[in-house]
Amino acid sequence: MITIYGIKNCDTMQKAMKWLDAKKVAYTFHNYKESGIDDATLKVWLKHFPTDKLINTKGTTYRALSDADKASIGSPAKAIALMKNNTSLIKRPVWDFGNGEFFLGWDEKELSKLV
């Protein structure tokens, strides 16, 4: 089963869920704003995505970070701490297809190949 991770009120998340619903694809939604995110999950994601892709460097949450925090995202341990404390930093959605395959963000054409 597909699990998509994100924040419920995010426009991109809503688009992704509507797309999955229209295709009648079963999925689970993990709202990390409400449920948080654990170290183990973030470590798995960092095996698939570099920190500068997993962290949304264009968002307002990132822009509000100190220069020292911004500079620290190259360190997986520091990036994990930042993402756990500021879940809005995580790019959305993160797609877990349940088979060791992951996708980051929204690209309908690419996702159509995976779903």
Question: Cα 7 vs. chain centroid, distance in angstroms?
Answer: 9
**60 an active-site residue?**
no
Identify the active-site residue in 4, 8, 9, 10. 10
Cβ-in-10-Å burial (0-12, 13-18, 19+) of 77 comes to exposed
Report CA-CA distances (Å) from 36 to 9, 32, 33, 114: 15, 4, 6, 26
Task: Please give the positions annotated as active site.
Answer: 10
